[in-house]
Every structure is written in structure tokens, then in C-alpha cells.
Structure 1
């Protein structure tokens, strides 16, 4: 059996190991951990194909990371129409179904107009005009009072869709009608909330003393000045403008 070669005593590593260990231990560490340790070398000049594959892998990893952290792209108008996002099922377009939505809209408008137990009925354009302009009219019961198209006058229904240029309403006959806003004036009514508790007793006494009771608030909406989407109206500022009466 051949013995392992003796370590080189002039090697700097053997000299340092000899200072910390015995001669036998220093010789063993030098042979196992330094002299016989494999040395892995990578080629300094890889071929062109290796560089090309490395760049391709880098591009693929970068693309995968980008797709994983990318937000989903919003649907285009054509994709929304193709998916039927705006379609209203005919079996669900019933006037009785949307009456609950109309009741919620009334409570929403009463809160906007600061109507508390029917006492505050003074609606000022300077204070409430901007709120009415930026309000949401899904669920409003509107009626066409004036229009350049005489066939639209008298159409009455609950708004189920408020687009930029139209109101889509469901009439009492369960008919879905699309009414353009341009050159059309709409009318809607906001009833006063009923007083509760002691306020109801006070209101009853006042009604007995004064025959003229407060009536519901009636508003008219000029569609030509209202051609914007509900999301855009939320941040729209109220401005005074001259309107053309029909």
C-alpha cells in the first residue's frame, strides 16, 4: 500500500497550520483540506450558443416576473359588449323589483338634501346645487316633461342605468326604454321623511293648526347639461350656466 506524499514544509499553509496544531494534525489538515481539495473552474470564454441561451433564459425569467406582478388589463368597450356586461335580463326587468331600489334612492336623496324629519325643507341652489349635480340617479323615478321629440313626453319609469348620454328606465308596464338626455328635461320628486316619536305628535299639531302642509320637493333636470357618467359627476364642480329652454 502506497503512503500519501509528505506535505511540503515550505508551503505557507503548512507553516500556519504548524503554529496551531501538532505536526501530525497539521500534516493531516494540509493533505485533506488544502492539497487534495478539488478546484472548480468555469470557462472564461463561453461559446456564442451559451451566451445566447443565457440571454434567452434571462428574458424568459424577466417576462415571467413581469406577468406575475402585472395588474389585470381592464376590459375594452368591445369586450364588455361581447361579454354581455351591460345586458339586462328581460325576466328581471320588472317594475316591482326596482321599487325597493327606488325606496333606497329616496333615503339617499333625503340624506344629501339634509332633510331631517321634514323640518329642513329649504333647498338652496348655492348649498345643495353641487350635491344634486354629483348625485347618483340609479333608482330615481323620473318623468319626461319636455323634449324635442314629442313621443318621449310622458315617459315615466325607474332609472336602472345612467350612462353618459342616456337614461335606461323600467316603466310601470315592465318595459325597458332608453331615453337620450340631449334636448330632454326630466322631472323627479323627493318626498319629505315622516317624523317619528314626539316629532310626529308635534307635526300633527302643526298640520291641524296650519292647513298648508309641506309638499314633496320637485326638481327638473336638464339632460343636455347632464351628459356625463355617474363616476365623472362625483368629482365635478357645480357651475352656473345659462340653459336653453325647450
Structure 2
């Protein structure tokens, strides 16, 4: 009695990858690819400590960057950016003389403190008050003052058409005063070769009620921005234009 040779029975492979490969290849090819590419493929693992160090370095780097961005001072706007944003443009409803009257009152109080006639909002008595205000004693203070809110009048100017213009200063630039007149008009007045006049009304005891201090300011002496004038040493300049 002879026995026929027994054919080897391969175990059925139940794996999602093998199932997908069987759809695209023959059974032998699918089995071979599965064995070489999937079943016997080595799995390389990196040490856990190395990945932790990398994550720690990344966390420290991001924390430093966030701290730097939070503490960094914002960069000032350039002149071009200011023009594009319209920072210095006055809206039509803002060009009202009555709006800036209150600003002028605040400015007069500020100037009385600069000249020594007021201190902490109260009028200084006669003993602590300057007897006379002159260019020699108060010239440096007046030249370094801020004129936003001052009511200026042009008394002399190289451009004769500017003489007589009077208004409240709404912008004090390096070379110009921008004022709003009583007719609700905006005028730009050059500082160069121009003489401005402004008045400060005094109030208080000792016969000061109703008296005025009248000043004439030479624009050539203050051709600086207010922030730059505050810390700058005052120097006399030639006045050949008079």
C-alpha cells in the first residue's frame, strides 16, 4: 500500500497588510512582500532620554523667545507710517475753535507754573514770586516750554501774508506751528524768520487780577520739537531777519 506525498499546508495569514497586498498581487508575491517588508522589518527605537532633552531645549528656546517679544519695547512709527495712518490729520468735526479753548486754559496754568507765579495749582504769594520776567531770567524756560494750547499771533514774518494770523496751537513741530483760528480754520505757520506774540492772564492777590504778561517769541530760537527743547541748553541766535 503506497501513500501519496502530503502537500504542506500553509497557515492562513490574517493581517490587514497581507489582506491589502493580496488584492494587488498574487498569493506568493503577497506573502513574500509581507514577510520581507512588514513581518521581518526591524523597528528602530530611539532612547527616551534623547527625545526628552530635545523637547526640553525646544521648550527653553520658545520660552526665551516669548520673554524677549514680551519685554521688547515697541518700535516708534516712522514718518511714512504716520502719514499713511493719518496720525496728524485733523478730522473735520475736530476743527472747532471752541474745542481748544479749554486746552488754552490748561496751557496758561502750565505757563504760570513755569514762570513761578503758581505752584501745585495755587497762586504764589508776592515773596515767592519773581519780581520781573525778562529774557535774561526766564528766556531759557520760555524757549524750552511746550506750546500746545498756546494762542499765538504772528506779528512779524518773512511771508507778509502770515502776519495777523491768530489761533490756538494744536501741533508744535520742529519747523511749524499748526493753529486753529477763531473762524474754525487750520493754518500752518512757519517758525523760521517769524515772531509770535502770546499773552498770559494773571489772577490772584496783590493786585495781579486782570494783569497780563505779553511775550514775543522768535521762531528761529525754537526750531526743535517740544521733547527735544525740554533737555536742550538755550543759546541765543542771530536775528538778522528783523
Deviation at 1:89, TM superposition (A): 1.2
Determine the structure 2 residue equivalent to 1:244. Answer: 240
Q: Secondary structure of 1:106's partner? A: helix
- What is the TM-score of this pair, normalised by structure 1? 0.65
Deviation at 1:72, TM superposition (A): 2.2
174-183 vs 121-130, which moves further = 121-130
State how far apart, in whole Å, the 1-side matches of 2:107 and 2:237 are.
Answer: 27
State how far apart, in whole Å, the 2-side matches of 1:191 and 1:121 are.
Answer: 16
Determine the structure 2 residue equivalent to 1:76. Answer: 78
TM-superposition CA deviations, 1:130-165 (whole Å, max 9, x none) = 110111111111111111111101000010110111
TM-superposition CA deviations, 1:157-198 (whole Å, max 9, x none) = 010110111100000100011111111111111122243xxx
Deviation at 1:71, TM superposition (A): 2.6
Determine the structure 1 residue equivalent to 2:214. Answer: 218
Note the 1:162-173 alignment, pairs <5 A. 162-173=172-183
Q: Secondary structure of 1:189's partner? A: strand
8 Å contact 1:160–1:169 — kept in the other structure? yes
Determine the structure 1 residue equivalent to 2:231. Answer: 235
Deviation at 1:60, TM superposition (A): 6.1
Are the structure 2 counterparts of residues 121 and 90 from structure 1 closer, same or farther at C-alpha, using a change threshold of 3 Å? farther
Higher relative contact order (CA 8 A, sep 6+): 1
8 Å contact 1:143–1:187 — kept in the other structure? yes
Q: Give the alignment partner of residue 179 of structure 1, picking from 184, 189, 196.
A: 189
Deviation at 1:129, TM superposition (A): 1.4
Q: Secondary structure of 2:140's partner? A: helix
Gaps of 5+ in 1: 1-40, 47-51, 205-212
Q: Secondary structure of 1:139's partner? A: coil
Q: Secondary structure of 2:132's partner? A: coil
Deviation at 1:241, TM superposition (A): 3.2
Are the structure 2 counterparts of residues 69 and 180 from structure 1 closer, same or farther at C-alpha, using a change threshold of 3 Å? same
8 Å contact 1:117–1:192 — kept in the other structure? no
8 Å contact 1:110–1:193 — kept in the other structure? no
TM-superposition CA deviations, 1:28-47 (whole Å, max 9, x none) = xxxxxxxxxxxxx9499x9x
8 Å contact 1:167–1:181 — kept in the other structure? yes
8 Å contact 1:145–1:187 — kept in the other structure? yes
State how far apart, in whole Å, the 1-side matches of 2:226 and 2:185 are.
Answer: 23
Q: Secondary structure of 1:178's partner? A: strand
Quote the RMSD (CA, aligned, Å): 3.3
Gaps of 5+ in 2: 1-45, 118-123
How many matched pairs? 189
